[in-house]
Amino acid sequence: MSVVTWSAERTSGSARTGTLQTPHGDIPTPAFMPVGTRATVKGVDRNDLIACGADIILANTYHLMLRPGEGVVKGLGGLHGFAAWERPILTDSGGFQIFSLSSKVTEEGVAFRSTYDGSPVMLTPERAIQVQEDLGADIAMVLDVLVGLPAERSVLDSAVERTLRWTERALGAKRRDDRAVFGIVQGGVDPVLRRKSARGTASLDVAGFGIGGLSVGETGHECNAAIEATVPELPDDKVRYVMGLGDTEGMLDAIERGVDLFDCVLPTRLARHGKVLSRSGDYSIKKAEWVSSADPLMPGCTCYTCATYSRGYVRHLFNTKELLALRLATIHNLTYTLTLMADARQAILDDRYASFSAEVKDRRL
């Protein structure tokens, strides 16, 4: 039995809610993980994250193994001690970052050069698990083979097969019984390959499932179709996590199809560029129309930014390049996203998820 488990509470159609139990606390699902690539979510600290409603954050294996190194992090108390974050942490395997580099993929693993000093690095399925165990994450992701879309079917099929073999190797390398390993389903937008990958991954002793290979060039319709092909092949009693998905409509669609967990840099990255997420439609705070606005970034939002500052003030901060602008916008966008998850959960509990999702989408048009 894995130390990380998911227990169901209620369904509304195919949408479901439950609780993900980890050594560092329970996570009500559906849930969103703010991305703390280098053991920090850009622009905010731990107190901000807690105030925004974050139950879990994600950190990046690729970056942390290179700088400062997993040994340094381990010596400073693992990620929980290093980042002073007592709540759960999931680490990705680094596959997505390597996908964007000039890397060489073989059966052994992935060879690439460090983005920091150019030194050669070899990451294998076993090494990815060892690094994540040293980092002390509650949930470690297996090393997978990510393919950009569109792609030839033969390329996708090869990635599916290799990811399954790498998953078996990763599980064989696991040494910590107090941490969990999640498998990753690949297959692009091919429903046959998605089902094949999901069935193969479900046959292995993983604690949960990442649905990978999405948000890499496919349309929203293709993403939904890939999720629809995947979810029925996965067991009902384990968590389902769509990797890299974080837009409002995409997450609502995925929840409707039985997904529990998400992560994405979108809320924080947009915030740093002055893009405000809102239930009435996203907008740029930098526009001149807000110069004298006394309204909060989003009426009804309870975040620190909206409770304290006006649109006119936040616009002023952005247009004068004050660093505070980045923090205030990030706090709002994270609160917006995390509140969306909490509201979706309540709608499932109330058996009104379909109407809730439709209402949110209609208001944002």
Let me know if 263 is a catalytic residue: yes
Per the annotation, the verdict on 350 as an active-site residue is: no
Return the half-sphere exposure (C-beta side, CA atoms, 13 A cut-off) of residue 339.
Answer: 17
Query: E strands, the chain, where?
Result: 5-12, 15-22, 25-29, 31-34, 57-60, 89-92, 104-105, 110-113, 120-123, 139-141, 180-185, 208-211, 239-242, 261-264, 275-276, 283-284
- Catalytic residue, chosen from 55, 92, 144, 253, is 92
The dihedral formed by the CA atoms of 256, 260, 263 and 267, expressed in degrees to the nearest 10 = 50
- Secondary structure string (H, E, C) spanning 5-59: EEEEEEEECCEEEEEEEECCEEEEECEEEEECCCCCCCCCCHHHHHHHCCCCEEE
From the list 48, 138, 253, 263, the catalytic residue is: 263
CA distances from residue 71 to 19, 75, 133, 142, 240 in whole angstroms, order as listed: 32, 6, 11, 20, 30
Contact predicate 60/37, CB 8 Å:
yes
- Whole-angstrom CA distances from 23 to 87, 88, 139, 156, 180 are 9, 7, 10, 35, 10
The catalytic residue positions are 92, 263
